[in-house]
Chain A
Amino acid sequence: MFETLQLMAAGFANALLPMNLLMMIFGVTLGIIIGCLPGLSAAMGVALMLPLTFTMEPETGLIVLGAIYCGAIFGGSISAILIHTPGTPASAATAIEGYQMTLQGKAGKALATACWSSFWGGLLSCISLYFFAPLLAQLALKFMSAEYFWLSLFGLTVIAGVASKSLIKGLMSGALGLLISTIGLDPITGTQRFMFGHAFLAEGVNVTCALIGLFSMSQVFILAEKKIVERAKAAKFTDKIALTKEERKMIRPTIIRSWLIGNIVGILPGAGASIACFMGYNNAKSFSKNKEQFGKGAIEGVAGSEAANNAVTGGSLIPTLTLGIPGESVTAVLMGGLIIQGLQPGPELFTTHAGMTYTFFAGFVLVQFAMLAIGMLGCRAFAQISRLSDAILIPCVTVLCVVGSYAIHRNFNDVIVMFIFGLLGYAMRKFDLNTAAVVLALILGPIGEKGLRNALRASQGDLSVLVGSPVCLVLIALCIVGIFSPLLMNMFEKKVSGTTLADAEAEAEA
Chain B
Amino acid sequence: MKMKKTDIGVVVFMYAICAFFYVHMLQLQANSQTYPRFTIVLLFGLTTLYLLQMLMNAKKHGVESGVDKVFDGFQIVQFFVCLAMVIVYLLLMKFLGFFVATIVFMLAALTFLGVPKVHTLIAVVAINLLVYFAFVQFLGVKLPAGLLF
| Residues in chain A within 8 A of chain B (CB atoms) | 51-52, 54-55, 166, 168-169, 171-172, 175-176, 178-179, 181-182, 186, 188-189, 191, 193-194, 196, 220-221, 224-228, 389, 391-392, 394-396, 398-400, 402-403, 406-407, 410, 412, 415-416, 419, 430-431, 433, 445, 449, 452-453
A-B contacts, CB under 8 A, total: 154
CA gap between A445 and B39 in the complex, in Å: 10
Chain B residues in 8 Å Cβ range of A220? 82, 86
**Are A410's CB and B73's CB within 8 A?**
no
A193 in contact with B36 (CB, 8 Å): yes
Instruction: Give Cα A168 to B115, complex, Å.
Output: 42
Q: Which residues does chain A contribute within 8 Å of B98, judged by CB atoms? A: 403, 406
Q: Which of B22-56 contact A (CB under 8 A)?
A: 24-25, 28-29, 31-32, 34-36, 38-40, 42-43, 46-47, 49-50, 53
On whether A179 and B40 interact (CB within 8 A), knowing A168-B46, A410-B141, A431-B9, the answer reads yes
Indicate if the CB atoms of B86 and A398 lie closer than 8 Å.
Answer: yes
Asked if B35 and A449 make an inter-chain contact with CB atoms under 8 angstroms apart, the answer reads yes
Asked if B83 contacts A224 (CB within 8 A), the reply is yes
A54 in contact with B139 given A168-B53, A391-B113, A430-B70 (CB within 8 Å): yes
Across the interface, which residues of B come within 8 angstroms of A196, CB to CB? Answer: 24
B86 touching A182 by the CB < 8 A rule? no
Q: Mostly helix, strand, loop or mixed at chain A's interface?
A: helix
What are 26 A-B residue pairs whose CB atoms fall within 8 Å in the complex?
A: A52-B138, A168-B50, A176-B14, A176-B17, A179-B17, A179-B43, A182-B35, A189-B31, A191-B28, A193-B28, A221-B82, A224-B79, A225-B74, A225-B79, A389-B115, A391-B115, A394-B113, A395-B110, A395-B123, A399-B127, A402-B93, A410-B141, A416-B90, A419-B90, A431-B7, A433-B10
User: How far, in whole Å, are A445 and B21 apart by their CA atoms in the complex?
Assistant: 16
Chain B at the A interface: SS class: helix
Known contacts A224-B83, A412-B94: does B32 contact A179 (CB below 8 Å)? no
Residues of B contacting A389 with CB < 8 Å? Answer: 115
How many interface residues does chain B have, given as a range? 35 or more
CB of B78 within 8 A of CB of A55, answer: no
A51 to B140, CA, bound (A): 12
Contacting pair A395 B106 (CB below 8 A)? yes
Q: How far, in angstroms, from A453 to B114 measured CA to CA in the complex?
A: 55
Q: Are B86 and A412 in contact (CB under 8 A)?
A: no
Task: Please measure, in the bound complex, the distance between the C-alpha atom of A452 and the C-alpha atom of B32, giving whole angstroms.
Answer: 13
- Chain A residues, Cβ within 8 Å of B49: 168
> Is B114 a contact of A391 with CB atoms below 8 Å?
yes
How many Å from the CB of A374 to the closest CB on chain B?
19
Report which of A169, A226, A453 forms a contact with B50, defined as CB distance below 8 A.
A169
Please, how many angstroms separate the alpha-carbon atoms of A46 and B99 in the complex? 24
Of B46, B105, B141, B144, which contacts A172 at CB under 8 A? B46
Chain A hits for B105, CB < 8 A: 395, 398-399
Distance (Å) between the CB of B28 and the closest chain A CB? 6
Please indicate the chain B residues that have their CB under 8 angstroms from the CB of A176 in the complex: 14, 17, 43
**Do B39 and A175 have beta carbons less than 8 Å apart?**
yes
In contact, B50 and A394 (Cβ under 8 angstroms): no
